[in-house]
Amino acid sequence: MADTRAQTDTARSTRNADTQVNRTEHVPGPDSAGTQHHVLTTPHSDHPTIGTADAGDQIITAANVITVLRLILVPLAFSVLVNRGHDLLAFALFAVAGLSDGLDGMIARRTNTVTQLGQAIDPLVDRFLIAAGVIGLYVVGRVPTWILVVLIARDCVLLIGLAVLRKVRADSVHVLFIGKATTVAVLVGFAGLIANVPHADGLGLITSGVLPGFSTGSYCVWIWFVYLGLVLSLMTMCAYFVMGIRAIRSANRRRQAQAVGE
């Protein structure tokens, strides 16, 4: 009886092992090195089922919903600002759109729902927010023309550089901390200028009004954050330019190596 029971248990264990096999395989991940995943396979299929969900192709996620809401807030804030008389409401809309900038990224990382859509539209929303802010402030006369020109030209240069990198199939340039600091400084400055308080007397170093704060007239103190953002912006452009040149050279070397190998 004991021998019969042992044989039955052995046969049952063999069938379970044939039905499902647990193993750890090296499955290529988003990076070139790949990652190890816990994989389940069956004798009837050679295709592994990875235990971690890939959210790269998802569209409706909490982070993406926040990003879209930020995008909707931008034209609302712009419209309220240029229609004048509702500075606090315009400030609230702009501030919410700006403060939620890091929220969508944090949620995406913590919930493992970083998507291609989110990675594509999030930086565009940032650019849209800055462009709407500077144009609106220019329309209501709170920033001089040269600030508008510098910021719009900077974004155009960055977009052209990104297009060049994609055309030559170079590696993407990673976002630098100084780039994030630039965005924060500019957005804080714009939010304060939209609220339009507090004001102070200028330093009186120049008589022209092209540099609010340095002239003799009254100015909104948040303009200093905009100046800081402009300085950081120029530094960021130089850094991205160097990184872009290196990425293009690296892509050219790879193509040459592939041509020689063929």
Quick: pLDDT tens for 59-90: 788 888 888 899 999 999 999 999 988 999 99
Fold of 62-256: Four Helix Bundle (Hemerythrin (Met), subunit A) (1.20.120)
Per-residue pLDDT reduced to its tens digit, 228-256: 999 999 999 999 999 999 989 888 888 88
Q: How confident is the model at residue 189 (pLDDT cuts 50, 70, 90)?
A: very high
Angle at CA of residue 180, ends 174 and 186, nearest 5°: 145
Instruction: Give every CB contact of residue 138 below 8 A, 6+ residues apart in sequence.
Output: 145, 147, 148
Q: How confident is the model at residue 102 (pLDDT cuts 50, 70, 90)?
A: confident
Phi/psi of residue 144, nearest 5 degrees: -75, 165
Q: Could you give the CA distance from residue 79 to residue 89 in angstroms, rounded to a whole number?
A: 11
Top-confidence range, 3-12, 35-44, 55-64: 55-64
Angle at CA of residue 205, ends 135 and 224, nearest 5°: 40
- 103: exposed, middle or buried (Cβ count in 10 Å: 0-12, 13-18, 19+): middle
Per-residue pLDDT reduced to its tens digit, 5-14: 444 455 454 4
Strands 45-50 and 199-201 come out as unpaired
Q: Which two tokens stand for residue 6?
A: 């042992």
Mean pLDDT, rounded, for 115-120: 78
Domain boundaries, the chain: 62-256
Q: Which two tokens stand for residue 262?
A: 């063929």
SS3 35: strand
Predicted local confidence at residue 56, as pLDDT = 59
- Name the DSSP class of 160: H
